[in-house]
Structure 1
Amino acid sequence: MDLKELTAFQTILKEGSFAKAAAKLNYAQSTITNQIQRLEKELGFQLFNRGWEAELTPAGRIYAAEVDRLIQHWHYVADQAKAVLQEETGTIHVGMLETHARQIMPEALQLFRETKPGVTCSFVIGNTDQLSTELRHQQIDFAICGEPSDMSELRFEPLYEEKIVFVAAENHPIHDHNHPVKFEDLLQHLMFVGGPTCLYYISLTKQFARHEKVPQLYSVSQISAIPGFVAQVPSVGAVLATTPLPKGVIPVPVDWDPASIPVGLLQKRETIYPSIACEQLKKRIKEVIATHY
């Protein structure tokens, strides 16, 4: 079996006859017929009913349903083999949450470069909502983020879970409460939170909805900036457990049951044959996450 035989079969299906397929491929019709006969011999069953130019047999219909994928796989394997023989080059576009830009990606990139030094990377930092949109528009190859509410066209592979924590300056009155602090005691204080499209913001609003009082909220698009505001403005900040805290800002023990936010690899569902380089980078990211989380 070779690619020419598969292509001949695929072209017959698309054109509707042996004659039209021969014209499309610039072959004699006898050449197309011989290619199909060789393919049938190698497969061990007939693809077309004899006496009917392009009427598929039951076995032929099953094979026809997979021929596009077979040809795609053939090209993919050939391309990947060439990439191994030659130095793989190109650019991988990766989206990530800001915490990953500091804590995961530098180490993963260093490991990746040991095997793929010719491949460059372009990193986009954003929240889950932004990254899932860019993924759908094919502006990035994959992302490390949360699981978006709209999973159409996408596939999510969870790798670890994030927790929401509250922080405040050491001299904030919230620390005068008995610990752990009741959740409702937080609600009387000014609070800095992430942007409305953040998954953890959605989780927080569900908690707020269970109480009569809602805190005065200031939203900050970058969660990593919240501790800086908390250090200067008398307030409480809602951040992720992995968010670095500056000197003078400490966690507030709170009596509540925060929902876990799964974080993992997000990619397009239709990506059947991703590049070797993409798969290698994902593998390194998983290794780093497994080590640190």
Structure 2
Amino acid sequence: MDIQLLKVFFTTAHEGSISKAANKLNFAQSNVTHKIQQLEADLQTQLFYRHNRGITLTPSGQILVSYAEKILHVIQEARLAVGDSSEPAGPLHIGSMETTASARLPMLLTKYHTEFPAVDFTLTTGPTEQHLHAVLHYEINGAFVAGPVEHPDLIQEKVIDEELVLVTSASHPPIQSVHDVQDRPLLVLRSGCAYRAKLNLLLKEEGLIPVKLMDFGSPETIIGCVGAGLGISLLPKTIAAEPEEQGRIRTHAIPGKHAIVTTVFIRRRDALITPALSAFLSAMRAHFN
């Protein structure tokens, strides 16, 4: 099986369009079409349905996508393994929840960059579900997510336990129960966020339905809007500590079983540990221990 044909097929399947795949690969559309036809002839099966709306994977194509992803990743790993020296260098792509990135990672990343300037480090922030998908599909080397994570293809390492608190405006009276704020809008991070899921679970167990959910892109924006009286939120205490000291917001404890969420670092069990990733894991363990 020709690796170049496999790469064209996988890119086309991932993009969902021959024209988008051609643009990404810097090929002519006719070239992409021809290579897919070559692969179909080699495998003696149809990989895409062609229709007026574009293309759709056939059952054979759906099966081949997962194999193609693994094959292309193994080839990339082989190149890295052969070319790598013992000195950390090259790309390292890590994911993180927004709150962890802002409150827990700045010192770690600064120290890591200072010690290993040859590493081309990239940090992507987003919700836990996004990072789980990215790690499983070899899109990033690892990620800080809310745990525990149970998946046979992943290794998880506990990083830290975060205490969660309800956050209100500074003038809000003490909260004895979530029933005290059931009529307030809930300010949450986008879908897939572990803290949002935790808040939904807390309300569900109390038999409450949110009056209104308002999505925000960052914890800093949520804190600003909570401080202005727009609504309430559930966030890690570390994120809320400084704004509370400044008198901008007020925090309130929640029931014990909901008060703690564990942050873990996940990576694929079968992925190559490059010198750059190995150095990052060592730095992470030293930083959080």
Structure 2 counterpart of 1:158: 158
Distance 1:277 1:149, change over 3 A: closer
Name the stretch that deviates more: 251-260 or 219-228.
Answer: 251-260
Structure 1 counterpart of 2:269: 269
Q: What SS is found at the alignment partner of 2:205?
A: coil
Is it true that 1:233 corresponds to 2:229 in the alignment? Answer: yes
| Distance in 2 separating the partners of 1:126 and 1:148 | 17
Shift of 1:150: 6.1
Aligned partners of 2:127 and 2:191 also within 8 Å: no
Larger Rg: 1
| Distance in 1 separating the partners of 2:229 and 2:264 | 33
| Distance in 2 separating the partners of 1:140 and 1:228 | 31
Shift of 1:213: 3.3
One of 82, 85, 88 as aligned partner of 1:83: 85
Residues 133-144 of structure 1 mapped to structure 2, 5 A cutoff = 133-144=133-144
One of 202, 216, 222 as aligned partner of 2:218: 222
Residues 19-168 of structure 1 mapped to structure 2, 5 A cutoff = 79=82, 83-84=85-86, 88-147=88-147, 151-168=151-168
Distance 1:278 1:117, change over 3 A: same
| Distance in 1 separating the partners of 2:191 and 2:101 | 21
Structure 1 counterpart of 2:182: 187
Aligned partners of 1:91 and 1:121 also within 8 Å: yes
Aligned partners of 2:160 and 2:264 also within 8 Å: yes
Shift of 1:185: 1.1
Q: What SS is found at the alignment partner of 2:85?
A: helix
Letter in 2 for 1:238: L
Report the TM-score when normalising by structure 2.
Answer: 0.63
Any gaps of 5 or more consecutive residues in structure 2? 1-77
Name the stretch that deviates more: 161-170 or 142-151.
Answer: 142-151
Aligned partners of 1:132 and 1:148 also within 8 Å: no
Aligned partners of 1:167 and 1:249 also within 8 Å: no
Structure 2 counterpart of 1:201: 196
Distance 1:191 1:114, change over 3 A: closer
Report the TM-score when normalising by structure 1.
Answer: 0.62
Deviations along 1:88-109, one digit per CA (max 9) or x if unpaired, are 4311111112233333333223
Structure 2 counterpart of 1:52: none
Shift of 1:129: 0.6
| Distance in 2 separating the partners of 1:103 and 1:182 | 27
Structure 2 counterpart of 1:286: 285
Aligned partners of 1:226 and 1:239 also within 8 Å: no
Q: What SS is found at the alignment partner of 1:123?
A: strand
| Distance in 1 separating the partners of 2:204 and 2:267 | 32
Letter in 1 for 2:204: A
| Distance in 2 separating the partners of 1:160 and 1:113 | 22
Letter in 2 for 1:222: S
Shift of 1:248: 3.6
